[in-house]
Amino acid sequence: MSETRGDSLKEFAKKSSAPRRAVLDLAPLELDCMNILWPVGEGTVRDIRDRLAERRPRAYTTIMTIMDRLARKGIVERRKVGRAYLYRPNLSAEDARSQALVQVIDNFFGGSKERLLGHLNAVAASPVPAPRAFAAAAAAAGGAGPMSASLAASSVASHTGTASADSEPAERIDDTLL
């Protein structure tokens, strides 16, 4: 990361008085809204909701709440235009990616880029584990027995589009309020 990019990230952190300054701390729907806002540069709640509705329909009031939270966190700035607010990101998508990657390297790989690269190479070289392998790993990692293994298997199955014969469909958690 260049000196100027690092400086801009530090400057963003200083400007933001919000307790959650890290991009990885954004809730999934907050990040979805940002991913809609970054390419267009600025938009109203209606603009964001309409673009998001193609793959993740949400109520207008839900998106309004999310955008208000992002404004309070300092992630976006807003200005009143007529009866609506116009939102604009305070951080570019590139800076957000860089910030998130720095967080991942620091928090998961002890600050070592080499360990991250080694992990990525190992993941790329290995086949995707079957859902039962995830369930067994979850149980071995301290899960509460067969129930947690079953939940892990159904969760993985829902994400991978596969299901084992004895697994039930995983419940979806509505993240409307996230």
Candidate from 61-70, 125-134, 147-156 with smallest mean pLDDT: 147-156
Long-range contacts of 86-92 (CB under 8 A, 24+ apart): 86/42, 86/43, 86/44, 87/37, 87/42, 87/43, 87/44, 87/45, 87/48, 88/37, 88/41, 88/42, 89/34, 89/37, 89/38, 89/41, 90/12, 90/15, 90/16, 91/12, 91/23, 92/38
Domain positions in the chain: 3-93, 126-168
Q: Maximum distance among all alpha carbons in the chain?
A: 57
Is the pLDDT score of 89 beyond 60?
Answer: yes
The tokens describing 48, both together, are 């964001």
Which CATH topology does 3-93 take? Arc Repressor Mutant, subunit A (1.10.10)
pLDDT in tens, 2-53: 445 455 545 544 444 434 456 778 899 999 999 999 999 999 999 999 999 9
% of the chain residues with pLDDT over 70:
60
pLDDT at 58 over 90: yes
Distance (Å, rounded) from C-alpha 51 to C-alpha 57?
9
Query: Strand, coil or helix: what is 20?
Result: coil
> What is the overall mean pLDDT for the chain?
74
pLDDT of residue 126: 87
